[in-house]
Copies of this chain bind each other. A is one copy, B any other.
Amino acid sequence: MDDIERAAVRLDEVAHVTPELTSRTLDDRTAATVRLKAECFQRTGSFKFRGAYNAVAALPAATRSAGVITFSSGNHGQAIALAAALHGIPAVIVMPHDAPATKRDAAVGYGAEVVGYDRYAESREQIGDDLAAQRGLTLIPPFDAWDVMAGQGTLARELFASEPVDTLVVCVGGGGLISGCATVAKANGDVRVIGVEPEAGDDVRRSLAEGRRVTLDETPMTISDGQQTLSCSDRTFAVIQDRVDEIVTVTDSEIVAAMRFAFGRLNIVLEPSGASALAAVLNGALDVAGQRVGVTMSGGNVDLARFANLTAG
């Protein structure tokens, strides 16, 4: 919690305190009082900005000024790019040559340098290590770092600051968001914390069940590209084992139903990974009757063509 409080101070006036949305239809359907934390309105369009900015801000000034580097071409990459720009330092995003132009453009738009590599012939780790050594850059990973996890926890801190929560439902990829949020939840008393993974990528569910960190053999087949991680990390798993009550899974079609619900009932755009926690609340598998429920809607970065394709028919 101390780390999260420090993160909250660093993020004050920098990150958005995102709106909490409610829906009578959702409350009727669940017989609960649900607050939806709309991180699709966070800077860069996802919660990742919280952890990325906190991690950059937490670096010693001399280290930070040389710049930062990451491999993520997704939301974390964009978040690092903006966090670096706000600190006036260089950011390098290592991305395969065949990454979609929109992802390259987004990183460049936030002021980062994109370094391409051949994903069949080169190792991104090697390229990253070489660049980091050469330029003195600091690697900021997408979830496996205390300051990243603490930054993500500020989402739950805002949720609990406005109203009490009995059950907190959180999207799970590498475990950065849920570890930070579960820490806040357990500091607020006997709060149930539920993580949500796509059915095809249930490494954290299996890890909790088996009591050891499970790594998937291959990238899971799911539309939820923000949740295709093969495993969480030792750091996030330790926190998850200690503070998360249960991991549930949702199917891709339940995720699409949640994206449709968010569009039609809330007038917001969620990307698949950002809709997964809402999907778990909507599909009826979670018993939350009579409870005050907090749900993360973690991001909205999906282009219109893909959104229309996914939700068509």
Contacts and interface: CB of A to CB of B under 8 A. Distances in A.
Given A45-B267, A304-B311, 18 more contacts: A19-B19, A21-B41, A40-B267, A41-B266, A260-B304, A263-B304, A263-B307, A264-B303, A267-B268, A267-B270, A267-B300, A267-B301, A268-B268, A268-B269, A269-B269, A308-B308, A308-B311, A308-B312
A198 B270 CA distance: 29
A21 B311 CA distance: 25
Nearest to A45: B267
13 contacts: A19-B19, A40-B267, A41-B266, A260-B304, A263-B304, A263-B307, A264-B303, A264-B304, A267-B270, A267-B301, A268-B269, A269-B269, A308-B312
A263 B267 contact: no
Contacts of A304: 260, 263-264, 311
Copies of this chain per assembly: 2
Interface of A: 19, 21, 40-41, 45, 260, 263-264, 266-270, 300-301, 303-304, 307-308, 311-312
A13 to B, nearest CB: 13
